[in-house]
Structures are given as C-alpha cells and as structure tokens.
Structure 1
Amino acid sequence: MVSHENDAYRIEQDFLGEKPIPIDAYYGIHTLRAVENFSISNRRVNLHLIGAIVTVKKAAAISHQKLGNLSSPIATAIVKACDEILNGSYSEEFIVDAYQGGAGTSTHMNVNEVITNRALEILGYNKGDYHQLHPLHHVNLSQSTNDVYPTALRIAAISLLRPLSEAFAELQDSLQIKENEYQHAIKLGRTQLMDALPMMVGQGFGAYAQAIARDRWRLYKVEERLRQINIGGTAIGTGMNASLKYIFTITDTLQDITSLGLARSEFPMDITQNMDVFVEVSGLLKSAATNLFKISSDLRLLNSGPKGGLGEITLPPVQVGSSIMSGKVNPVMSEMVSQMAMKIMANDQAITLAAMNGQLELNAFTPLIAEALLESLEMMTKAILLFKEKCLEDIIINEDICKKNLSASCAIATALLHHIGHHHASELVKKAQQEKKDIATVLRESHILPEDAVKRILDPYEITKPGIPGI
C-alpha cells in the first residue's frame, strides 16, 4: 500500500509498518526489508533463478487470463513486464542477497514487486500504485513461494544442465580425437606413481573419454527427475487457494513456454518439502568433478618440468607463470579445473546439509541449495569449455621423452612372466637396476631365451594389447 510520496521517495506499507522506497526503484518494501536483513555476501540471487521465477509468473498471468481470473489489460501488462525482464531489462533491480532466510520468499517478492511496478508503468500508473495492480493480489494470484520457488529452481537447473551435458559431449569428443591421434605413440604406464607397464598414449586419453562419457550420460538422465514440478500446490502442496483448472492450465502453459517437458507432480507435497532431487544432481556433479580433477591432475603431472619432471606432455602456454622466476609457465588451466572441482565438492556438501535439514512441510534452506547448485552448474560448464579450448586441444605429446622413459624402465619385464616365471623375472629386474642396463640387454646376456623370442616377447607394441606377449 502507498500512503504518500515526496520528491525522492515513495512510502510503502506492509504488515510491519512503512518504509521509504526510492521513487525510481521497481522493487518495493519486501525487497528493501530483505536487503536490510540479509546483506552478508555481496552476492545477488542467480539471474537464472530470477528468470525462471519470472517465467512462472508469466505462465500464471496467461493462465489466469484464460480462466477469467485477471482482466486482459492487467494480464497483458504483467506478461509484457515479464518478457522485458526475460530479455535482460531491469536486472539491476534484483538486489536481494543470495543467502537469505525465509525459504526464498525474499527473492520471490523481489520478483513480484519488479514485475508489478513495471506493469503499472505499462498501464500508465506510477510505481507503487498498488491499488491498481498488486504484487500479491495479481502477480502472485493462486501462488506461494513454496510452489513457485521449487518449480522455478527446477526450470533453472534444467536450463543449465543441458548446456553442461553438451559441454561434456564436446570434452568427450576432444579426448577421443586425442585417443585416435596418439594411438601409435607409446609411453610408460604407472601405478602408484611407479613404473608399471607400457601403454599407448591414446589408450590413456581413451580411458579419460570413457569416464567423461559416463558423466555425460548420468547428467543427461537426471533431468527426468527435475521435470516434476509442484506449481499449484501453493503453501504446503495441498493446492489450497488454487483451483484445479488453474493448476492444470499453468502446468500446460509452462510446458509451452519452456519446452522442457515439465509435468505436474502426482504428489505436490513431496516436491514442496523434499529437496533430494537437487542432492542427486549435485552428487552427479561431484562425481563428474572427481573425474575432471583426476584428468587435470594427471596432465599437470605428465607436464611437470619441463626438464626436472616427467615432461612427457607439454600443455599449451597461456600466461606467464611467475612474478620472479623468468620463463616459468605454469599449468594454470589444469589448476583452474582442479579448483573448480574442489568448489563443486564443497557446494555438494552444502546442498546435502541444506536438504537434510528441511523440516515437516517445507525446507527453509532452499536458497542455499539454489545458489550452490546453480553456481556449480554454471561453473562446471564454463570450466570444461575453457579447459577443452585452452588446454586439451593443443596438448603436445613428447614422444621421444616417452620412449626414453619407457626404455629406461624395467616395467617391460612383466612380459617375461609366462616364459621364465616371476622369480627369474624379478632377478633380471634386480640385475638391470644394479648394472643400470635395460631389461632386453640383461635378458640377452643371460641367454635364458633365444634372440628371436626376446625380440618377440619384449616388443612394446605387443605388450599394450590383450594376451600373452610372444605367443
């Protein structure tokens, strides 16, 4: 309600009293109270969530107009205001801190007020003239934070999950290109950082590609659970103050607007109070993060040096690495991916704790879930694409160093087990290490096997295939 205005402010009123609102502001008293109460992080609510809430508001206005619950001028103004926001206008008006009490009510009211005040302007009225068009009576008709917010979070999550799945597809393709490119380049495989067996460089990239393919599939499939929405359930999922016609109409309208295959939950109270689907999505992000961390860590290790480390690969130099050490170039893109993975794991813990601490018919900590989940989805997509573009695509394999390290190792002795037994093979390894000779030389000097057998058994390209070498 508006009681009076002066040159700089309009006065708005709520249950707790009055507040002066900047005359040009599209937000109102509920938003201002939230800003005063929750300014803790300097992080505003994720705009993907804002856009999803606006989309729900647009669908509600269209539905109420169809059902005759809103007049055509009011519904049309609300829809026009929503479209302007969805096209990027008024983003600066969404000023509530991402971390807030109230299960998302502050964010929800920020959206309601901005839509209302822009719609009032469209209708030719002043901002704050709520007796013409009201944030709650019109924009929020038949709705509650508790059905709008979870529905919007699912829409926002799906909208970010799809490009992430595509990013994983691109990463998988890049790894498979490297797999094919280096299918004939041989190197030393290692277990527990110790020499193990020969392998093809391409085989290593192929193993990475398989891990990423699993992540891609898991994230693609989890969207099915996100499509279940509780819009129309209102406060606790029972649907009080929302007609069945409205409930079915808004679901259909949201399907049409978003093209996301959304479906009304068979049990809206479940969606209202239980946040486990977001824990599931976050858990899959954590799983993907572990693979990304492993890959980026491996590449850093193989790149180490360039003279004092393994040096078997060279990562693209993208920036100078030190303010004091001349010529130093660090594996910054791999380090970036590793830190992203750590952050996603930390976000997963926050999402888990927030979801498990919901009580009875509502989870008061949904804003934390929303902020952490949407941040993880956005961050992982950006990190993957940058990693692919600025690191993976231009990796150079130093084949001479790979062959040198392999030939200097005794790992190839494992190929002899079927022919001379474990004990004799171990004695050859000990002798080679003591005399600083390679296994082939020591084996020839021992005259245990004929020369043609030695050559056949110790062929490193045969050792990288299934079967018993030399047979």
Structure 2
Amino acid sequence: MNRPTRLEHDLLGERDVPADAYWGIHTLRALENYPITGKAIGSYPELVRALALVKQAAARANNQLGQLDASRHRAIEDACHEIAEGRLHNQFVVDVIQGGAGTSTNMNANEVIANLALEKLGWPKGHYKELHPINHVNMSQSTNDVYPTALKLAVVFAIQGLLEAMQTLREAFAAKAAEFADVLKIGRTQLQDAVPMTLGQEFSTYAVMMGEDIARLREAIALIQEINLGATAIGTGINTDIRYAKMATEFLSELSGVTLTPAENLIEATQDTGAFVQLSGVLKRIACKLSKICNDLRLLSSGPQAGFNEINLPERAAGSSIMPGKVNPIIPEVVNQIAYEVIGNDVTITLASEGGQLQLNAFEPIIGHSLFKSIEHLEAGCRTLAENCVRGITANRDLLAERVRTSAGLATALNPHIGYENSTWAAREALRSGRSVAELVLEKGLMDKEALERVLRPEVLTAPRRE
C-alpha cells in the first residue's frame, strides 16, 4: 500500500512510478491503457532479446559516428547485453496487444535499458538528465524501424525451435516408414477401398510432407531477414547520419549471429508487412498438413472393434469418465486444435497487414503476437506428436494381411491381364459373395494359379510394373 515511488513526467504531465521499477512513465500509461490479454511482452523472450540487440547495435553505431559519448555508450551496451542474456525480462510488462504501432513496447525497452544503464553509471533510477531513455537509448531510432526490426529478428530466433521440432517429427515418421515397409494394406480414396500399398509407404508420405515444409519455412525466413533499421519515422531516415542504417544493420548482424540486410527502399519497407504474411502462410501450410496427418492417425486407429483398427496409438490417458476401458487419440486431437488456431492466426495477420495505411502499419503488435503463438504452439505440437504418439505406434499386421487377401480392390491389379469387364465382375462378385477375388478368377479360369500369384506379389501390387 505504501510502496515507495519516484516522480516522472512526459508530455501529458507527471506520474508516480514505483521506485524499484526499471520501467517508467510511458510504460505506466501503457499498463493502464492496454489491459487486454494479461500477457506481457516479457513472456516472449526472443522479442525482448531482439529489442535489446537492436538498441545495442544502435548505441554502437551512434558511438562510432560520434553521436553518443563513450561513457553512455558503454553503459547502454552493458545493459543491453545483460537483458539479451535474460536479465530483467520481468520488467517488460506492456501487454502484447497495444495501440500505437508498438510505441509502448519501444518505450518500455528504452526505459528499462536507461535505468539499468543509470545504475551502472552510479545514478538512481529516473535520473534521466544523465542518461535519457529517448535522447540516448532511442538515439537515431523510431518505433517504426525498431519494432519491425526486433519483431523480424525475434521471429528468426523463435523459428529455430520449430525447425528442430519438425525435423524430430520427420525422423519419427521416417523410422515408422522403415519399420512398416513390409506391412501390406489396402489404400483408400474418399474413404472407400482402393488398391494395395504398404503401411510403410503411408508413413513415408508424412515424412516427406514434413521435409517439404521444413524447406518452405527456411525460404520464408530469408524474406524476414531484410530489415528497415535506420528508416526512423517513415523511411526517410530523418535525424540519422547517412552512414547509420548500414552500420547499425552490420552491428546487429554481428551481435545476433543472424545475417540481416537493409531494405533497398526504407520507405517501402516501413509500411510493407508482406514478409509476415508470407511467413504466416507457410505456418498455415504446416498446420494444414499436420492436421491432415492427425486426421489419418485418428481414422487408422479408430475402433478398436468397430473402426479401421489398422494401427494402435500409444495409450496416454483414460478416455472417459463413464465408459470403462475407453482410450482416445488425445495427442492427434490436440495437434488438430493447434492447427485450427494457426489458421485463425493467419486470418488475423492477413487482416492486420491489409489494414495498414499510407507510410505505416499500426497493427504490427497483433501480427507479432499471432506469429509467436503460431510458432510456439506448432513447435510444441510437433514435439508431443513425435514423442507421445508416433514413436509408439504399432501395426495390426494380421488384420491388415487378411483384409488384403479378401479385398475386392485386388481386382484393379488384374485389369491388364483379364480386362476391365472381367475385373469389374470379380470385384462386384467378391463384395456380394464374400469370396476372394483370387478364388473367383481361378474358378472362372480367367488366369492360372502361377500367373495369378505372380501378379499379386506385394512388390508388384505396390509399385509400377516392368513389362
């Protein structure tokens, strides 16, 4: 109730700020203005790290250009380094969804860095005449180049975990494809029986899907690595040295370990959010494929007595509070729900990008929040799908073999040998009578046993044939 305070001021007046807070009056106003999600920007460590690195690169460039003295430069650099390493993330308290095109996020960063730097210089928090959040920490910068640059860098950081998780899942599917390479089954189109394939072939397609989307995601990252640092307010570079943009970008690449390039036209880059839309589209593509795979896993494991029952998913939890012994496909189900969320996030990002006006898009905070949610949840979904589901899948081999033996779908393989009409008769009669296609073909004398066995070999049924 009697928490000590310090007095700070801005263009709207004076306010008391908690004395021990590293943030200041601009952050205080944001806390009051944006009680939206209850999720602070500090909950995205990649974003806080990226903000600190942008400020560090800017300070280094300003010092090199003779704009920032050595003492303040060193204090700001040291503060940024500590924050990038994980210190004071709990002081980044502004809500992730905010008005002002990210200005409150930028101000929050400026204030925390300034007050930490002041401590290093031996001054109390809020003693801004010695080192100012805007005059010094924000020198040669605007929210409009700091925020999108930090957002892009943070996304590059975050995607590394998703790429690793997707690779783990790809490897899990590939391992199952090898394990099930000899398991013959009936493939399906439109949920109707089609022709034979192996369960290994079915699982190999999932590995290929993951591999393709890993490549697409890497391509999308390349677009994200073009930044507008040095653009300041609208891209004209007002209040900066002509050498600043290139120098700051080079320092940021060095500090982050990410190869970043300045946009050719900073005015265009400051208003254009197309790279975020492109990336979100790739994340949606990944989500759609993951959800389709999970639909397949749920179908293939359905039953066990009144469904497909071709594979068994690992039992992860009791499935019902009323039905004894029931176990549900909970891991594929949770990944389905992640996919639905990512698809919704893509709609949000699309609308936010389209909503930009003239020289700035004011809606990058919701773009960033939506991207981070999609990336985080897809990563978690891939990991739990690999670890808690795919690696433990088993095949019901005897059941699958019997279904192939009695399948009317075998008639398709006989088309080149007995003709379409005879094959159609064999398929329809097999369904009507419950007898096998092979039995009917032999009985009618359409093929001899040796020729029939040669045609119905697994390696012939599941691959193109050699004449």
TM-score (norm: length of structure 1):
0.95
Q: Check whether the contact 1:162–1:220 (CA below 8 A) recurs between aligned residues.
A: no
Secondary structure class of the residue paired with 1:188: strand
2:307 corresponds in structure 1 to 309
Secondary structure class of the residue paired with 2:243: helix
Q: Equivalent residues in 2 for 1:68-147 (5 A)? A: 68-147=66-145
Q: Distance in 2 between matches of 1:257 and 1:47?
A: 16
1:223 maps to 2:210: no
**Letter in structure 2 aligned against 1:60:** A
Secondary structure class of the residue paired with 1:126: coil
Q: Distance in 2 between matches of 1:33 and 1:99?
A: 14
Compute the displacement of 1:7 (Å).
6.5
Q: Distance in 2 between matches of 1:321 and 1:27?
A: 48
Secondary structure class of the residue paired with 1:10: strand
1:282 corresponds in structure 2 to 280
1:407 corresponds in structure 2 to 405
Q: Distance in 2 between matches of 1:7 and 1:41?
A: 26
2:176 corresponds in structure 1 to 178
Aligned residues: 464
Residue among 203, 206, 218 paired with 1:205: 203
Q: Distance in 2 between matches of 1:21 and 1:91?
A: 18
Q: Distance in 1 between matches of 2:124 and 2:324?
A: 63
Residue among 8, 11, 16 paired with 1:12: 8
1:3 corresponds in structure 2 to none
Secondary structure class of the residue paired with 2:258: coil
Q: Distance in 1 between matches of 2:299 and 2:289?
A: 15
Q: Check whether the contact 1:347–1:376 (CA below 8 A) recurs between aligned residues.
A: yes
Q: Check whether the contact 2:48–2:83 (CA below 8 A) recurs between aligned residues.
A: no
1:59 maps to 2:34: no
Return 157-166 or 304-313, whichever deviates more.
157-166
Secondary structure class of the residue paired with 1:244: coil
Return 61-70 or 339-348, whichever deviates more.
61-70
Compute the displacement of 1:366 (Å).
0.5
1:259 maps to 2:257: yes
Secondary structure class of the residue paired with 2:51: helix
Secondary structure class of the residue paired with 1:383: helix
1:42 corresponds in structure 2 to 38
Compute the displacement of 1:461 (Å).
3.7
Q: Distance in 2 between matches of 1:318 and 1:279?
A: 36
Secondary structure class of the residue paired with 1:271: helix
Q: Distance in 2 between matches of 1:447 and 1:384?
A: 53
1:22 maps to 2:18: yes
Return 334-343 or 59-68, whichever deviates more.
59-68
* Residues 378-407 of structure 1: CA deviation (Å, up to 9, x unaligned): 221221122111111121111112112222
* Residues 135-185 of structure 1: CA deviation (Å, up to 9, x unaligned): 100100010000001111110111122332232222222222222222111
Q: Distance in 2 between matches of 1:73 and 1:133?
A: 10
Q: Check whether the contact 1:30–1:110 (CA below 8 A) recurs between aligned residues.
A: yes
What residue ranges of structure 1 are gaps of 5+ in the alignment? 1-5
Q: Check whether the contact 2:3–2:18 (CA below 8 A) recurs between aligned residues.
A: no
Q: Distance in 2 between matches of 1:48 and 1:392?
A: 29
Q: Distance in 2 between matches of 1:371 and 1:47?
A: 13
Compute the displacement of 1:271 (Å).
1.4
Q: Equivalent residues in 2 for 1:279-428 (5 A)? A: 279-428=277-426
Q: Distance in 2 between matches of 1:411 and 1:78?
A: 72
Q: Check whether the contact 1:189–1:199 (CA below 8 A) recurs between aligned residues.
A: yes
Q: Distance in 1 between matches of 2:210 and 2:271?
A: 33
What residue ranges of structure 2 are gaps of 5+ in the alignment? none
Q: Check whether the contact 1:186–1:461 (CA below 8 A) recurs between aligned residues.
A: no
What is the Cα-based RMSD across aligned positions, in Å?
1.5
Q: Distance in 1 between matches of 2:81 and 2:257?
A: 16
Compute the displacement of 1:320 (Å).
2.1
**Letter in structure 2 aligned against 1:33:** R
Compute the displacement of 1:448 (Å).
2.2
Change (3 A) 1:217 1:448: same
2:161 corresponds in structure 1 to 163
Q: Distance in 2 between matches of 1:433 and 1:225?
A: 55
Return 346-355 or 37-46, whichever deviates more.
37-46
Q: Distance in 1 between matches of 2:241 and 2:180?
A: 63
Secondary structure class of the residue paired with 1:336: helix
**Letter in structure 2 aligned against 1:123:** L
**Letter in structure 1 aligned against 2:424:** S
Q: Distance in 2 between matches of 1:408 and 1:20?
A: 81
1:245 maps to 2:239: no
Return 190-199 or 121-130, whichever deviates more.
121-130
Q: Distance in 1 between matches of 2:3 and 2:46?
A: 34
Aligned structure 1 segments of 4 or more residues deviating by more than 4 angstroms: none
Q: Distance in 1 between matches of 2:35 and 2:45?
A: 17
**Letter in structure 2 aligned against 1:307:** Q
Q: Distance in 1 between matches of 2:135 and 2:413?
A: 79
Compute the displacement of 1:26 (Å).
1.0
Secondary structure class of the residue paired with 1:104: helix
Secondary structure class of the residue paired with 1:196: strand
Secondary structure class of the residue paired with 2:16: strand
Q: Check whether the contact 2:62–2:140 (CA below 8 A) recurs between aligned residues.
A: no
* Residues 71-112 of structure 1: CA deviation (Å, up to 9, x unaligned): 222111112211221222212211111111100001111111
What percentage of aligned pairs have identical amino acids?
Answer: 43
Change (3 A) 1:246 1:463: same
Q: Check whether the contact 2:49–2:86 (CA below 8 A) recurs between aligned residues.
A: no
